[in-house]
Amino acid sequence: MTIQNNVSLAPYSTMGLGGRAAYLADVQTRMDILEALTWAQTHNLPAILIGGGSNIIWQDSGFPGLVLINHIQRFEVFEEDDVNVYLTIGGGEGWDSVVERSVAAGLTGIEALSLIPGTAGAVPIQNVGAYGQDISQTLVSIEAFDAQAKDFVIVPATDCNFGYRTSRFKTTDRNRFFISAITLHLTKGMPEPPFYPEVADYFAEHSITQPKPADLRQAVVAIRSSKLPDPQIVKNCGSFFANPTVPIGQVVQIQADQDMLVPNWPAANNMVKVSAAWLIERAGFKNIHDSASGMATWPQQPLVFVNEHAQTTADLLSFKQKVVDAVQKKFGIRLVQEPELIPENLAM
Ligand code: NAP
């Protein structure tokens, strides 16, 4: 394993911004993680493990320690019967390729998570979900180096504190676990209805009455491709905010005050989910190109911020603040950023 020094971090975020890492190394195996963390500890440096950089915004000040890039490859069926398949996947596997391979094997459970950028190891961190599936529904456990226990551990899904787009890995135990592999429980069945309206429309248009996992994947790929930019071509980090969950009374009040219907869906505890994209659009940020910051909102999906010619993370954050303030002023809802700003509260 080679440890490089003074490396620009911009290529390690799909937003293409940020300062420099003091040190950076690729990890191919679990043992590389151990070796790298031992090196960082010896040099009294913080360390962080990242995947594809699709959910990371680097600070302009850079990272004053060791950045590890997860390239751990593995795709192994370790148990199987007529219905169930248990798969262990290396944390550095490209997530969409994992979905593609599981669908090609006729498995259901993660096909609605098609085309989500990033690596498999990053998926549990924010309990990635889309179109009715999220990883907490199929995750059995994660394998990780635990910086507290100073050893590799298995964390069962029941101990991950999963919530809506969150887990202990992004809250109470941020930077503690270096995820080397995940184990999923998929099945040989068919995807379960009900389907989200956009997916149901796709099936109706294509006369698909009994969708197989491959049909659901194809529907999600078509929907996502039609409204989201490819991070390989356009610099972006996907949705910049989580869809907010608010008390139902707040939505009723907004509808009365603004004299407009706010699209919302039921969530737990008398709360409702509101579309962040809709809030941003109604706050005046549909297809906006902000010359001051060099940032823009994607024409088909204003929840996606695009780096057109921003030079610094400060530029991006100033644009973000404009959007947050406008939504807060119009609707009284505070949007919460989804991509992680790093560094923040380093643990090691
Ligand atoms: P969208 O489909 O416009 O939906 C906006 C909001 O409405 C979301 O909160 C979504 O819930 C909810 N919703 C829509 N139809 C629903 C239904 N039939 N039943 C229950 N809730 C419904 O959202 P989008 O921004 O274009 O994103 C598409 C999908 O990708 C969504 O599922 C979204 O959550 C997901 N996504 C996930 C991440 C992530 O994991 N970090 C990032 C971006 C987008 P849900 O959020 O529960 O789906």
Give the atom of ligand 1 at the shortest distance from the alpha carbon of 277: 25
- CATH number for the domain harbouring residue 101: 3.30.465.10
The residue whose C-alpha atom lies closest to atom 25 belonging to ligand 1 is 277
Find the radius of gyration of the CA atoms of the chain: 21
Give the atom of ligand 1 at the shortest distance from the alpha carbon of 197: 18
What integer pLDDT is reported at residue 9 of this predicted model? 98
Task: Based on the fold, state whether residues 186 and 120 are members of the same structural domain.
Answer: yes
What integer pLDDT is reported at residue 327 of this predicted model? 98
Burial 226-249 (b: 16+ CB within 10 A, else e): eebbebeebbbbbbbbbbbbbeee
Cβ atoms of 23 and 4 within 8 Å: the answer is yes
Domain boundary among 70, 91, 117: 70
The residue whose C-alpha atom lies closest to atom 35 belonging to ligand 1 is 130
Residue count of the chain, please give it. 348
Task: Based on the fold, state whether residues 209 and 242 are members of the same structural domain.
Answer: no
Give the atom of ligand 1 at the shortest distance from the alpha carbon of 55: 41
Give the atom of ligand 1 at the shortest distance from the alpha carbon of 338: 41
Chain centre distance of CA 132: 15
Residue with tokens 């950023």: 337
Rounded to the nearest 10°, the torsion over CA 104, 108, 110, 113 is 70
Q: Give kind and range of the element (H or E) at residue 258.
A: helix 248-258
* Residue 244: C-alpha distances to residues 195, 241, 256, 271, 320 (Å): 21, 8, 19, 10, 16
Distance 244 CA to ligand 1 centre (A): 10
Q: Give kind and range of the element (H or E) at residue 328.
A: helix 313-331
Q: How many CA atoms lie within 13 A of 341 on its CB side?
A: 14
Distance 130 CA to ligand 1 centre (A): 6
Please pick, among 165, 217, 224, 282, the residue that the annotation labels catalytic: 165
Please pick, among 111, 143, 338, 340, the residue that the annotation labels catalytic: 338
- CATH number for the domain harbouring residue 61: 3.30.43.10
Distance 131 CA to ligand 1 centre (A): 6
Q: Give kind and range of the element (H or E) at residue 246.
A: strand 245-247
pTM (whole model) above 0.85: yes
Task: Based on the fold, state whether residues 214 and 100 are members of the same structural domain.
Answer: yes
Task: Based on the fold, state whether residues 115 and 199 are members of the same structural domain.
Answer: yes
Q: Give kind and range of the element (H or E) at residue 304.
A: strand 301-307
The residues, any chain, with a CB within 8 Å of residue 125's CB and separated by 6 or more, are: 55, 167, 169, 170, 179
Please pick, among 239, 282, 293, 340, the residue that the annotation labels catalytic: 239
Task: Based on the fold, state whether residues 188 and 139 are members of the same structural domain.
Answer: yes
What integer pLDDT is reported at residue 344 of this predicted model? 83
Task: Based on the fold, state whether residues 140 and 281 are members of the same structural domain.
Answer: no
What integer pLDDT is reported at residue 346 of this predicted model? 40
Cβ atoms of 83 and 188 within 8 Å: the answer is yes
Domain boundary among 201, 227, 253: 227
Residue 130 CA to residue 219 CA, distance in Å, equals 12
Task: Based on the fold, state whether residues 307 and 338 are members of the same structural domain.
Answer: yes
CB atoms within 10 A of CB 74: 18
Task: Based on the fold, state whether residues 156 and 214 are members of the same structural domain.
Answer: yes
Q: Which two tokens stand for residue 165?
A: 């787009």
Q: What is the pLDDT along the chain (348 residues), one digit of tens a residue?
A: 999 999 999 999 999 999 999 999 999 999 999 999 999 999 999 999 999 999 999 999 999 999 999 999 999 998 999 999 999 999 999 999 999 999 999 999 999 999 999 999 999 999 999 999 999 999 999 999 999 999 999 999 999 999 989 999 999 999 999 999 999 999 999 999 999 999 999 999 999 999 999 999 999 999 999 999 999 999 999 999 999 999 999 999 999 998 999 999 999 888 999 999 999 999 999 999 999 999 999 999 999 999 999 999 999 999 999 999 999 999 999 999 999 999 985 433
Domain that holds residue 300: 236-346
Distance 27 CA to ligand 1 centre (A): 33
20 in catalytic set:
no
What integer pLDDT is reported at residue 41 of this predicted model? 96
Residue 243 CA to residue 253 CA, distance in Å, equals 19
What integer pLDDT is reported at residue 348 of this predicted model? 37
Residue 147 CA to residue 286 CA, distance in Å, equals 43
Residues with CB under 6 Å of ligand 1 are 126, 128-131, 165, 196-197, 238-239, 243, 265, 273, 275, 277, 303, 338
Task: Based on the fold, state whether residues 50 and 186 are members of the same structural domain.
Answer: no
Distance 113 CA to ligand 1 centre (A): 11
State how many domains the chain has.
Answer: 3
The residue whose C-alpha atom lies closest to atom 41 belonging to ligand 1 is 128
Cβ atoms of 236 and 301 within 8 Å: the answer is no
The per-residue DSSP string of 169-189 comes to TTTTTTTTEEEEEEEEEEESS
Q: In sequence order, which ranges of 137-247 are alpha helices (DSSP H)?
A: 197-205, 213-227
What integer pLDDT is reported at residue 347 of this predicted model? 38
The per-residue DSSP string of 78-142 comes to EEE-SSEEEEEEETTSBHHHHHHHHHHTT-BSSGGGTT--SBGGGTTTTT-EETTEEGGGTEEEE
